[in-house]
Structure 1
Amino acid sequence: MSACGDGGASEGGGQPNFIAGTDGVSTAPKGERRPTAELAGETLQGRKLNVADFRGKVVVMNVWGSWCPPCRAEAPTFAKVAKDTESQGVAFVGIDTRDTSRTPALAFEKAYDIEYPSLYDPTGKLILDGFPKGTLNPQTIPSTVILDREGKMAARALRPPTEDSLLKMIDPLIAEN
């Protein structure tokens, strides 16, 4: 995984069953989506969190680090869209990576008014183990992976999304039965 990447073209190993867009967004059709492995651990606040507990909701997972300039640039968008879509059955979960201490990550969340939980993954192990190769796995920092209501990977952005592009990934999943 590259640090603070720009959304390169590599899609990982295996035979991907998704469509890579020219805007850094890839999507998987409903019948071809794959689940993540277990994504569970401790949040920045020290609470236990398992992403599987959000099954039944659309889950927006953002991989970030407090040290990453594009992560700082996209943070206000995530904070706003998280608040705006919560009542529609959307949950946001961050994965803070490569912060060797929780202190800068907690300061990041406070500075950008991030109210949703973030799993603490200083070594990147959760990211590497949680998203199988050849899927819509995060490959850069920042990356965003959106899970459908069944916990399957439906969309991924390898670039910081705008509010509009983030909603274009979320809205179809909200509408799915």
Structure 2
Amino acid sequence: MSTRSRAVLLTAAAAAAALALSACGKGGVSGGGGDTHFVTGKNGIDTVAAAKRATAPDLSGKTIDGKTLDVADYKGKVVVINVWGSWCGPCRSEAKYFAKVSKEYADKGVQFVGINTRDTSTTPAVNFEKEHGVEYPSLYDPTGKLMLRFEKGTLNPQIVPSTLVIDRHGKVAARALEALDDTGLVEMIKPVLAEK
């Protein structure tokens, strides 16, 4: 292989690696400029004071098992939205924690909803949920259209995985742009659940 061919191959590999990391990784930056009204805590969780929160967009459609779901139907509950893909390593790491905490908080006024994205069919998504014991519903969003409904400059899901907590009034209260364990997940939920 020539030096030039090797350089082109290495450049292509580096670009592919950068793209993979941006699509499924840890951390991220907020979209939009100006005063976004949110604060990032030491735990990496962005939060917004109740008076400054943006209303969550329409998050409705078909689930990975073919049912119809509208997140607005859960108004009055705290809703945890987890954006995931079966192809995403960090999503696999956090799935057991989401399964566990969703069960622990089911009778405390908290509803979990997944948004499965970038899976080309529902088969790997359904298998992922079975493998990891995820029992809450997941909307099927193969092209990321639901993620794009969030306004720029708000607490929006920007990478996979992303987790959002929506308050009882349908407004986005908190966001994490990284895989979470059960402790981090509970840290996101508890303050919003304590609100009246």
TM range (shorter): over 0.9
Residue 122 (structure 2) pairs with residue 102 (structure 1): yes
Structure of greater Rg: 2
- If asked which structure has higher relative contact order (CA below 8 Å, sep 6+), I would say 1
| SS of structure 2 residue aligned to 1:76 | helix
| SS of structure 2 residue aligned to 1:11 | coil
In the TM superposition, what is the alpha-carbon distance from 1:61 to its structure 2 partner?
Answer: 0.2
- Aligned AA (2:172): M
In the TM superposition, what is the alpha-carbon distance from 1:6 to its structure 2 partner?
Answer: 1.3
Deviation beyond 6 Å, 4+ runs, structure 1: none
| SS of structure 1 residue aligned to 2:119 | coil
In the TM superposition, what is the alpha-carbon distance from 1:160 to its structure 2 partner?
Answer: 1.0
Q: In structure 2, what is the equivalent of residue 175 of structure 1?
A: 194
| SS of structure 2 residue aligned to 1:150 | coil
| SS of structure 2 residue aligned to 1:31 | helix
Summarize the alignment of residues 11-160 of structure 1 with structure 2, pairs less than 5 Å apart.
11-14=30-33, 15-129=35-149, 131-160=150-179
| SS of structure 2 residue aligned to 1:154 | strand
- Aligned AA (2:70): N
Q: Deviations over 1:142-177 (max 9, x none)?
A: 000000000100000111112111111111111111
Stretches of structure 1 lacking an aligned partner (at least 5 in a row):
none
Stretches of structure 2 lacking an aligned partner (at least 5 in a row):
1-18
In the TM superposition, what is the alpha-carbon distance from 1:22 to its structure 2 partner?
Answer: 4.0
Q: How many residues align?
A: 175
- Aligned AA (1:69): G
Instruction: With the length of structure 1 as denominator, give the TM-score of the two structures.
Output: 0.96
In the TM superposition, what is the alpha-carbon distance from 1:21 to its structure 2 partner?
Answer: 2.5
Q: In structure 2, what is the equivalent of residue 165 of structure 1?
A: 184
| SS of structure 1 residue aligned to 2:173 | strand
Instruction: With the length of structure 2 as denominator, give the TM-score of the two structures.
Output: 0.87
Equivalents in 2 of 1:137, 1:118: separation in Å?
A: 18
- Aligned AA (1:31): A
Identity %: 57
